[in-house]
């Protein structure tokens, strides 16, 4: 995709802003996809490989995510082409924030995605002199610390439980494989364990391990705290070739790492009865069709990992408040929202024969289209 105008369709994007800063070498992009239901809200990622097309795809996913859980914000996403491990990270981030001062926070509020931390959100607030410029700041600054709380992973497990109940798969005693044991995967594992499931495989960027009878989740989390992604080298379990954690013998598979990791060929090899998408866009459309034909139930990413956006909605309300949002209220809302939306999407899929992705997206599209119609944003008949 060489021409950003080629991205435009009936839904958006409404605005694509490409920015740069010669002194720091900062290059970045903001995509505001659709704001019919509210202000643009989505994460900002930092990676050396960020592209406009990638950010636009993620912004569209945010449109469906907000509408899917019926919260009133619009789809948006931003990206910075830089190495988050670079010593120049802060100057690059500050240059990025300054370059978007016209859009932030009037049209877009920054959140956290790959490569950015809670302290980075605080830096954006500091650079723009506005508490409303970003959410996801540390708790000691009044923010909702998503990673520390583990709201996204908690929501993944809640969505999995709702889907498992619907397909007659008791989660107590179920075997769960998780690709990616970062903030989302680790929090999901904790909640799965609380619900009685056994974690039988995990992976990180440094490898994958398999324990058919299950890992002790507390041990996994302690190893992650001490060794980071190298925890897979310090826990008992059989080493796997990276990617094989997706096809181990299990009942529930949670891809919670990268996008497009499950293609058509991998979909034929998956043994799980239930796939719950913890990462953004982990299955290709062709894989989704294969899984549907094989009778594997899939909970789409824009529903399964929407715990973060539910928490973000509370954080958005609290941006200028002197009070923190209540943690118990956040977790209760995450559970309720994700269970209801998961069941609704699977009900539509069963009734219409559509894949859960198509069913969930149809629900979201109807909500966005209704907002566009009310605001006069649809093409004239």
Q: Which of 77, 271, 337, 375 is catalytic?
A: 77
Q: How far apart are CA 53 and CA 140, in angstroms?
A: 36
DSSP state of 23: T
Cα–Cα nearest to 250, from 291, 280, 278, 213? 213
Q: Is 77 a catalytic residue?
A: yes
Q: Please state at what angle helix 327-352 crosses helix 356-374, rounded to 10 degrees.
A: 110
Tally DSSP H helices, then E strands, for the chain.
Answer: 13, 12
Residue appearing with tokens 């209760």: 332
Q: How far apart are CA 10 and CA 256, in angstroms?
A: 30
Q: How far apart are CA 252 and CA 273, in angstroms?
A: 6
Cβ atoms 360, 345 nearer than 8 A: yes
Residue appearing with tokens 């974690």: 199
Q: How far apart are CA 247 and CA 268, in angstroms?
A: 9
Tokens of 104: 């932030």
Rg over alpha carbons for the chain, rounded to the nearest Å, is 20
Hey, which residues are catalytic here?
A: 77
């Amino acid at each position: 995709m060489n021409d950003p105008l080629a991205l435009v369709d009936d839904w958006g994007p409404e605005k694509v802003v490409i920015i740069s800063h010669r002194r720091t070498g900062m290059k970045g992009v903001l995509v505001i996809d659709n704001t019919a239901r509210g202000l643009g809200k989505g994460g900002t990622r930092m990676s050396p490989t960020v592209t406009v097309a990638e950010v636009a795809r993620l912004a569209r996913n945010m449109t469906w995510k907000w509408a899917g859980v019926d919260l009133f914000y619009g789809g948006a996403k931003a990206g910075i082409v830089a190495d988050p491990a670079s010593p120049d990270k802060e100057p690059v981030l500050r240059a990025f924030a300054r370059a978007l001062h016209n859009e932030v926070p009037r049209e877009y509020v920054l959140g956290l995605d790959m490569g950015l931390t809670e302290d980075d959100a605080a830096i954006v607030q500091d650079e723009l002199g506005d508490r409303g410029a970003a959410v996801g700041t540390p708790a000691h600054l009044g923010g909702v610390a998503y990673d520390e709380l583990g709201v996204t992973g908690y929501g993944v497990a809640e969505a999995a439980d709702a889907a498992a109940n619907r397909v007659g798969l008791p989660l107590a005693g179920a075997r769960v494989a998780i690709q990616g044991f970062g903030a989302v995967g680790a929090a999901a594992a904790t909640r799965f364990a609380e619900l009685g499931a056994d974690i039988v495989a995990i992976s990180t960027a440094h490898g994958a391990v398999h324990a058919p009878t299950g890992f002790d989740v507390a041990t996994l989390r302690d190893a992650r705290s001490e060794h980071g992604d190298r925890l897979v080298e310090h826990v008992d379990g059989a080493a796997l070739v990276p990617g094989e954690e997706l096809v181990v013998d299990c009942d529930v598979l949670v891809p919670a790492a990268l996008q497009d990791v499950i293609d058509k060929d991998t979909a034929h090899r998956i043994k799980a009865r239930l796939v719950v998408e913890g990462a953004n866009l982990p299955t290709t459309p062709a894989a989704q069709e294969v899984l549907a034909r094989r009778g594997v139930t899939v909970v789409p990413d824009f529903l399964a990992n929407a715990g973060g956006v539910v928490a973000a909605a509370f954080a958005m309300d609290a941006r200028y408040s002197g009070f923190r949002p209540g943690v118990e209220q956040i977790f209760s809302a995450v559970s309720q929202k994700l269970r209801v939306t998961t069941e609704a999407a699977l009900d539509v899929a069963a009734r219409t024969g559509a894949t859960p992705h198509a069913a969930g997206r149809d629900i979201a599209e109807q909500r966005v289209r209704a907002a566009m119609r009310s605001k006069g944003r649809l093409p004239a008949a």
